[in-house]
A and B are shown apart, each in its own frame.
Chain A
Amino acid sequence: MEICKTASAGTLESSDCLVTVEPGNGISLELSSSVMNQYGRQIKATVLETLQRLGVENAAVTVVDKGALDCTLKARVECAVFRSCDASAENIPWGGIVR
């Protein structure tokens, strides 16, 4: 998927994360997390895997994590990417690239 415009999803509440995607060249990821020392690497891997699954090759991604589980990280990254293409409201490929 192409990142067409800046979009974000999520909140800064506990157990959540705020993900922002912007158009970019290649993938860049800026991560801050309340559990950076324990889970920083895993969070980064989950975000990058999700972007790859969605076929996102060019994006500047910012993640502010407040202790989100993997399933929440995925949900927020996916929602931000679909929002950036104005495609988040219907006909989501559940079980396809969203899984």
Chain B
Amino acid sequence: MIKRPKPERFRLRRTMMFMNAQKPGLIKDAYIYGCDSIMLDLEDAVAENQKDAARFSLYHALTTIDYGSTEVIVRINGLDTPHWQEDIRVCVAGGADGIRIAKCESAQDVRTVEAAVEAAEKEFGVEVGRTLLMAALESPKGILNAYEICSASDRMFGVAISGGDFRKCMQTTFQPDGVDMLAARGQMLLAARAAGIQCFDTVFTDLDDDAGFEAEVRQNKAMGFDGKSLINPKQIRLVHQVFTPTEKEVRQAEKIVRAIEEQAKLGIGVFTVDGKMLDIAFVPGAKRTLKLAKACGMYEGDLV
């Protein structure tokens, strides 16, 4: 049986690719695409009368297939279905890294899942606290309660918006400039940052619209998202490109951190480098760039 290493609450998650847990052809070699996380789906991708079969398939995939450093998350069925409890049992027994709570609307939803996860960890002899959680916000109520959801549990590593359901609730449709979900994305980002967890954008479903996809990914990056949910391997490369810092950004960040540390030793607080004003406030951003670069394998220095 494959023993996966203990999941890291905060790691690189630029791309999270959805995959139907019921389709062996998809899940057997999902790690070859190089996405940061895969999302094995027990929810919408699986027909109602195949939920049981999907769990057997998931259990053996989790315990047999070596996904290496690709994170393995499972999307479970909603709390309003008869399926979610058994979904949690199989995720924990199989050793999934994390569980995505579908249609999450309140901190109570997170706590309900957390209690079931803990019970399953005890039942299957898994270290209590090992299994991470993330929430998908799919309704106006979920967005309005984003902060309480994000801060509901120490297991929570991130939050994601689910565009399809959300747009339906809001009586709108996809807009190329993102105005349909601008407020929701913004509110969710605020909540995630305030709670100190990661934030992921929804899937882009038109696989033929490359320009539209790129525009959305760039907007995601500009808004401050950590990554994006994907439906097809061909979407991975662009997201990695956009979410990975450029060589120039990495060198700049390195220079900033070094300069500030050196100047601070000399008792200088504010100064200019390459014509730009710098002070201590620039350090966290520069260090974040270096951490991201390190996670992407671009930086091997010791500043972070």
| Residues in chain A within 8 A of chain B (CB atoms) | 9-10, 13-16, 68-72, 74-76, 78-79, 82-83, 88-92, 94-95, 98-99
Contacts and interface: CB of A to CB of B under 8 A. Distances in A.
A12 to B, nearest CB: 12
B25 A75 contact: no
B52 A13 contact: no
Given A71-B28, A75-B59, 6 more contacts: A10-B53, A13-B23, A72-B28, A88-B52, A90-B86, A92-B86
A78 B57 CA distance: 10
Given A94-B90, A95-B124, A68 B52 contact: no
B53 A76 contact: yes
B24 interface: yes
Contacts of A95: 93, 124
Contacts of A72: 24, 28, 57, 60
Please classify how large the interface on chain B is, using the bins under 10, 10 to 19, 20 to 34, 35 or more: 20 to 34
B24 A68 contact: yes
B94 interface: yes
Nearest to B55: A92
A69 B66 CA distance: 14
Interface in B107-158: 124
A75 B90 contact: no
Q: Which 10 A-B pairs have the closest CB atoms?
A: A94-B93, A15-B25, A71-B60, A88-B52, A71-B64, A75-B56, A72-B24, A79-B56, A75-B57, A75-B60
Given A69-B24, A72-B28, A82-B52, A99 B63 contact: yes
23 contacts: A9-B53, A10-B53, A13-B24, A14-B25, A15-B25, A68-B24, A71-B24, A71-B61, A71-B63, A71-B65, A72-B57, A74-B56, A75-B24, A75-B56, A76-B53, A82-B52, A88-B56, A89-B86, A91-B89, A94-B89, A94-B90, A94-B94, A95-B124
A10 B25 CA distance: 12
Given A13-B25, A15-B25, A83 B60 contact: no
Contacts of B23: 13, 16
Interface string B223-247: 0000000000000000000000000
B89 to A, nearest CB: 6
Contacts of B53: 9-10, 75-76, 79, 88
Contact of B52 (A10, A83, A94, A99): A83
A14 B89 CA distance: 28
Given A10-B53, A14-B25, A92 B90 contact: yes
Contacts of B70: none
Nearest to A13: B25
B262 to A, nearest CB: 56
